[in-house]
Chain A
Amino acid sequence: MTALPPTDRAFGTDPADPAPLPVAPRAMPKQVLVAPAGRRWQGLRAWLLRRLPGLRRAG
């Protein structure tokens, strides 16, 4: 990015901002941090199956 001309920078949260940020959106999706209880169990089961081959044979 080179220095942006004033017309491209004329977009800010507050019109009184002396030098607003350029308009250049970047998607920032919300991450999953708290899984539903069912999925939590599925995750634990998958983790155990990966690490305990005996369990895989049994189940």
Chain B
Amino acid sequence: MTPVPVPVPGDRSREARALALAMSLLAAAAAGMVFHVYGAADGLEPVDVLRSGLIFLSTWWLAWGAALALLGLTARRIARQPGTAPIRGRTVVLVPVCNEDAQVTFARIAAMDASLATTGEAARIDFAVLSDTRDEAMAAAERHWFARLLADRAGWGRMFYRRRARPAGRKAGNVEDFVASAGAAWDYAVILDADSLMEGATIVEMIRRMEADPGLGLLQTLPRTVRARSLFGRAMQFAAGFHSPVFARGLVALQGRTGPFWGHNAIVRLDAFAASCGLPELPGKPPFGGPILSHDYVEAALLARAGWAVRLDTDLHGSYEEAPENIVDHARRDRRWCQGNLQHIRLLAAPGLRGWSRFVFFQGIFAYVAPMFWLAFIAASIAALHGAEVPDYFPQDNWPIPVFPVDQTPKAVGLALGVFGLLVLPKLAIALQAVATGRARAFGGAGAALRATLAELALSTVIAPVLLAFQCRSVLQVVVGHDGGWPPNNRGDGGLTLAEAWAAGRWISGWGLAGIVATQALAPGLTPWLLPVTLPMLAAPLVIRATSRPARPGVFPVPEDAALPPVLALHDAQLAAWDAPEAAVA
């Protein structure tokens, strides 16, 4: 089928892209220039040029994020009227699983099915569990709980299960295998993760939007993080609920017809997906060759290459996911994403891609390379100060009055404040807008939302150096050719013992200590400046342990605390029913 392009009404994405790029490049250029003047005050050295370049690149990345927030804060809100027309096409909800807790996962399917039943459209929507589980005991549990699901939801003929004999190509291969063997039975597929939950009304509305726009190949929702319990998880959940919608609206302003795909909580048009998204294995061995890990970005780019629109609709609510509960699980998932995004270096020049798709790949790569620039900047600064000459206060012979060098401290402080502002101001601006518009009421009220914003900023400041260490290690592992594979996600309460935290973070402590000792020995003037980085690194095991502990009630409030979404309540009820003694016997 050939896509039927439907123009996006009032599409200003080209102007928005130019504005965001210009703003971020200007901020980066200003930071680079200020630092150049500061560094060259005692004579221009090659290391000063290097440091100015690193500041330019690092600031650009921060400024790009700030520009997204600014666009999101100022963009016109798009709120489409929910449709009422009966849906015509057939849809399958795909649940790929791999060594997951079958009872919890299949209870989610039961909850979504029950939610769909209230819409009157359930007859045209089926479910398919696509299992790549290797563990035989877990596979047996899947069969057991799937049988329960079929019985409880009368799912024969509309709920399917298949387990692949050979799990080639990981999740993308799993979905591809489904499309190749059974995809012609449906018009649309809602692609989920094992921890995804969606309200039935949201699924139906997504189908209606696909049917209203025959040129739309993929529609992505912005999932809200739910069920977090640890301090780390609650902070991430608050940020995802409070800040992410604004950043996402900024992204929408830039997307045009080339929006994102995040791999789950999205709907695809199956004939478009089948015709455009067959992923080849990249030549060579992993990490840069082999199966494409971050397949979702590539699939979005391929749909756009074939002329299909890919869209993120931020006004679609009722879409949920869970997230890692501690830094170690977050870093494990991030390791996979890092390898997948760096693999996109191979695809930057892929034939026929839209320019924006290439830029999205570039952004994904840059997100992981940017921490390396900060690290390189710190190292170069220590080297520069170590090699700095002592100022000559009497440069002219026989001149009794000392000549003091021009104090450059205000420039350095100004630059540091500017960089800090790029990090902090977007979140503060989002909080103030939420208070002004009343959105903060759902987050416990204005006071609670502001307190949570400040607490999240403080926690992020402590966690950031630890995450930076994990990210840098991931990048270096990929660069030296180490394949991280596809480790399964840990789900559960995420609490870590001190021994587990020590095992995961002691190498970061070592680097933090080495950083303090090296700075004190080579450039003692820098030691206090670097303490915000080196101290959290030194205390990494404690940070990891403390943030994995359960959060106090009311910390980082989200709307779901006050009113549990219906599909989550259905999930709880289903789990309670299956946990009852007679269910265990069955």
Contacts and interface: CB of A to CB of B under 8 A. Distances in A.
Contacts of A58: none
B240 interface: no
Interface string B256-279: 000000000000001100111111
A18 B346 CA distance: 41
B180 interface: yes
Q: Which of A3, A30, A33 has the most CB of B within 10 A?
A: A33
A55 B162 CA distance: 56
Main secondary structure of the interface of A (DSSP, over half): loop
Contacts of B274: 26-28
Contacts, number: 117
B183 interface: yes
B584 interface: no
Q: Which of B147, B182, B279, B298 has the most CB of A within 10 A?
A: B182
B392 to A, nearest CB: 53
Contact of B157 (A3, A16, A39, A43): A3
B535 to A, nearest CB: 44
Nearest to B350: A33
Given A20-B160, A24-B184, A26-B274, A33 B179 contact: no
A4 B182 contact: no
Contacts of A33: 279-280, 282, 292, 298, 346-347, 350-351
Q: Which of A3, A16, A21 has the most CB of B within 10 A?
A: A21
B302 interface: yes
Q: Which of A14, A19, A39, A40 has the most CB of B within 10 A?
A: A19
Contacts of B164: 13
Contact of B163 (A14, A31, A35): A14
A18 B143 contact: yes
Chain A contact residues (Cβ within 8 angstroms of B): what range? 20 to 34
Interface in B64-80: none
Interface of B: 90, 128, 143, 146-147, 150, 155-165, 176, 178-186, 270-271, 274-280, 282-283, 292, 298, 302, 346-347, 349-352
Given A25-B181, A26-B270, 18 more contacts: A5-B157, A9-B157, A13-B163, A14-B165, A16-B163, A21-B160, A24-B183, A27-B274, A28-B176, A29-B278, A31-B277, A31-B278, A31-B279, A31-B302, A32-B280, A33-B280, A34-B282, A34-B347
Interface of A: 1, 3-5, 9, 12-14, 16-35, 39-40, 43
15 contacts: A13-B162, A14-B165, A19-B155, A19-B160, A21-B128, A21-B162, A23-B181, A23-B182, A25-B181, A25-B182, A27-B274, A31-B276, A31-B277, A34-B282, A35-B351
